[in-house]
Amino acid sequence: MKRPITALGGLPSDRAAGFGRRDLMRAAGLAALLGASGGLGLGLPAAAQDEALIAAAQEEGHVMLYTASEESIIAALSAAMSDKYGITLEYQRLNSRDVAGRYSAEAEAGKTVADVILTGDPILIDDFSAKGWIAPIDASQIPGFDAWPAEFKNDHSVIVSINPQTVAINTDNLKAPITSWQDLLRPDLKGQIVTVDLKRVGLVAFAAYDLMLKTYGEEFLTKLGQQDPRLFDSGPSAIQQLASGAAAAYFPASTTQSQSMIDMGAPVQAIIPEGEPYTGVMSPVAISANAPSPNAARLFVSFVMSEEGQKILNEHTASPNNTPGTGELKPGFVPPDMESSAANKDKIIQLMGL
Amino acid sequence: MPNMQVASGPARMARPGWFSNPIGLLATALLIGVGFLVLYPVFLLIERVIANPGEDGLGIDASIWGTLLNTFLIVGGSSILALAFGSLLAIINERTDGSIRGLGTFMPVAPLMLPSITGVLGWVVLFDPRVGMVNVILRDVFGFAAGSGEGPINVYSWGGMLLAYTVHLVPAIYLIIAAALRSLDPSVEEASRIFGAGPIRTWWRVTLPAIRPALFEAWLLSVINAIAMFAVPVILGTGAGVEVISVSIWTYLTQYPPNQQAAIVLAGGMLAVVLLLRGIQWRLVPSGRQAVIGGRGVRGTMASLGALRHVARAIVIGYILISLVLPLIGLFIVSLEPFWTANVPWERLSFSNYTRILTQNPTTIRALVNSLILAAMGATIFMAVAAFLRLYARQSTGQTGKGLFSRSFDGIVDFVTSMPATLPHSMVGVAFILAFSRWPLDLYGTIWILLLAHAVMELPYASASAKSAASFIGRELAESSRIFRASEGTTMWRILVPLALPGLAAGWVLVFIKILGEVTASAILAGTSNPVVGSVLLDLWLQGNFPMMTAFALIIWVITSVLVILVLWLNNRNLARAR
């Protein structure tokens, strides 16, 4: 499979070493400075630019979002858009592979329904962009774009959320705490781990396995496979199984996935072992080339980059520009390496014995 | 054997060809329209694949042989099991005093009304090896496999899949066989009994051979049904490590980037198998040689089973328990929970999921309304078209004796309506976006695109039920009508349709339920502007909102059950009045 390689703003995607919140903050500050000197494309004062965009967006009245993010989060964004601008945010919430399938099927049929797409696979958006389905974006169109950290944006998309991949545990079933990734290989977890069937899911799920492969070697995955993990067709199935008490651990579980069960009162916790490298899902937002409501789309993108939008979107996950009031990105975060995940996909499936 | 006839030879009256009368023209036009609806989207898809060939071959690897073998074993095994069991249920209910009055005719089809994903999840809730309610009870109360925390029943296994497939196939088979039995003149069976044969011997030697075409049709339909089944293998098969073709095709189509080429090749292979079976049907089960309804009114008597009656009732009750009541109880408990758990939080159970669906969530209500409209409209239109084509074929076949076209109109209908049988629903979804989201028919985002897609997907079921219904009408009836100079239209409307009605009503119910429960194509074609039940159920599932999903599914189940009971009751009453 050919995927155009577009590192987002020179993100060190193949660097195995972790980087933490401090690095992100430095980068954010730097980008803010650059942004301030860059000026605004329309030559208008920022406030006037905002006003013009809001007016044009309100004229359109609504915006359609395709997303793989948690429903409750998107519902909150929708409510905020409505309160603040009187614009209806409609959304189609699907899992990441179905977002890809639906969006591309519509694009190929020449039918653009989604104004905005927000999903967990940056390479997918690059691929769509290469096919001409995604509109270019720049500071002249989108308030707040300039100030966004450079490594979390490019000419057609903005990464707005970092969702760490954790091991979710059932606190009723887990006998001893998990303090390292090696703990997943403990004898007491044999047959007690659930995971997604890697033959069935999109590339997004592979980044965590890819990191394990590169950090702990092939043996780790072979032994993980020998733990007889029980397979499920999708992340939601797996997390339900964990919450229901059918297992003790689910790896890799995204933070929002675990949170959705915690919010319902399930005995679930999301664990990132202290001092160990971990990765996550970075979600870009992008605007369709033929968006029916282009201004409302730009306003939405601008809104999710704003402090208010980030607080809603990243209540439990990490904000790329480190907005106060968002979830913390613990030390040890390694950006997901999608190229390497794609290259190692078959190897990972084979090592896990699937 | 006064009322049973064996196929008549060449007809006694020479008649003009099927193309020279208005009814014939209408039949031909309908057939062409149906053919177009099936072929046009698929051709667009194939054209796209040819225009953009893959870089490195098909992308199908050797593991496909294992998948094919799995599919063969599961489809073969479950369709035969389901045929045997479905026929047994039909005989018990239609021909013996072992049926349970009032419930008998409805209950065997009731499991169909649980939309497919939910039906499977009902089983998972019961038979998950660790947290399944039945397993927990077996371990804690009865001491099976106590202390292991697992078992004794594992639904994620070959046995679990076979059983789940079988249970899902039985209702459709039951509907067809029961309709055939109801239409079959029971005087033959009475004759057999008068000559001293017991009830079982009579059914084996007389009844079953007499409905052989319906048996084969029902089996073929369940093969088609099983090949296309998606919810069972994607949920149970993933856990059991058993992959089947429908899931492979879905994976090829929905992965990114999609491999439409591989999906089309596999779907083509499945279609070839079904057409082959149709060919066997034409050769081995000629539609002429079968028992038919004669001209005289008859009324069947129920065989008395004696002590066996209790066994028969136990079978019916056991089936209903396993396929419906237990899953419903499991799902109902889950629907009251805040999240799915085996440690039922009794003090926290509430109906809040139901109130949210019925009063707060606008999408669920819209989806329900859309789906009910679609299902009622679709079932009526598709059955009307299928019935018209089948009755016309029935009436005209054999009339002109040597005329090739006339002889094989039924064959053409078979061929055209079988074509979409194995089209995977995911492929229908993708092909319909290509075909109907631009000029001249821009239907994307409306319920009409779903109606057209359902027309293709349910055509084989509508057609098979109509064929079975039509095959029990003796040609003598149409011929007598003609002798009295009735027009083709009058013959069809006054004579054939009323006689075929029980079978057609069964088909209506089947199509109605299948439209309502369809998930895979709906997930592709339905969106926020045209939500339907299937797509919303899937959305709720994907959002991890299992309790809300089960609550929604149970609401759907109640509504459809009421509707279906009503239709079956009206139908039985009409039938009783007619006799």
DSSP state of A246: S
Q: Dihedral sign, CA of A259, A262, A267, A271?
A: positive
Q: Report domain A16-162+280-313's class.
A: alpha beta
Of A197, A199, A244, the CB nearest to B340: A244
Residue B540: closest CA among B343, B339, B406: B339
* Annotation: CATH topology of B18-49+62-293+305-342+353-578: MetI-like fold (1.10.3720)
CB distance B391 to B500 below 8 Å: yes
| Inter-chain CB proximity A244 and B341 less than 8 Å | yes
Collapsing DSSP to helix, strand or coil, A167 comes out as: strand
- Per the structure block, which two tokens stand in for B425? 């629903």
CB atoms within 10 A of CB B493: 13
The predicted structure's pLDDT at residue B285: 65
The predicted structure's pLDDT at residue B560: 83
Cα A67 from Cα A74, distance rounded (Å): 8
The predicted structure's pLDDT at residue B24: 79
- Per the structure block, which two tokens stand in for A248? 């003790």
B111 strand-pairing partners: none
Beta strand extents in chain A (DSSP E only): 62-67, 88-93, 116-118, 158-170, 193-196, 230-232, 249-254, 268-271, 280-287
Question: Hey, do A16-162+280-313 and A165-279+335-351 end up sharing a CATH topology, with the first three levels equal?
Answer: yes
Upstream peptide bond of B152 is cis (omega within 30 degrees of 0): yes
- Residues in B touching A246 (Cβ below 8 Å): 128, 130-131, 342
So what's the ipTM on this one? 0.75
Using CB atoms within 10 A of its CB, is residue B13 exposed (0-12), middle (13-18) or buried (19+)? Answer: exposed
The segments of chain A whose pLDDT lies below 50 read 1-43
Q: Report domain A165-279+335-351's class.
A: alpha beta
The predicted structure's pLDDT at residue B128: 86
**What residue segments make up the domains of chain A, in order of their start?**
16-162+280-313, 165-279+335-351
B55 touching A (Cβ < 8 Å): yes
- Per the structure block, which two tokens stand in for B145? 């496999």
Mutate to test the interface with B, among A64, A90, A228, A264 (most CBs of B within 10 A): A264
Of A97, A102, A265, the CB nearest to B255: A97
| Inter-chain CB proximity B128 and A109 less than 8 Å | no
- Residues in B touching A292 (Cβ below 8 Å): none
| Inter-chain CB proximity A265 and B234 less than 8 Å | no
Of B130, B527, B544, the CB nearest to A240: B544
**What residue segments make up the domains of chain B, in order of their start?**
18-49+62-293+305-342+353-578
Upstream peptide bond of B115 is cis (omega within 30 degrees of 0): no
The predicted structure's pLDDT at residue B391: 81
Q: What is the mean pLDDT of each run of 10 residues along chain B (579 residues)?
A: 40 46 82 89 83 67 86 94 92 78 66 75 86 85 73 88 91 83 75 77 80 86 85 86 87 79 82 81 61 50 74 85 87 89 80 85 87 94 90 65 53 80 80 83 88 91 82 70 73 73 82 87 85 86 80 88 80 65
3-state SS string over B431-497?
A: HHHHHHEECCEECCCCHHHHHHHHHHHHHHHHHHHHHHHHCCECHHHHHHHHHCCCCHHHHHHHHHH
The predicted structure's pLDDT at residue A35: 41
B528 touching A (Cβ < 8 Å): yes
The predicted structure's pLDDT at residue B505: 84
- Per the structure block, which two tokens stand in for B100? 């349970």
Cα B10 from Cα B167, distance rounded (Å): 43
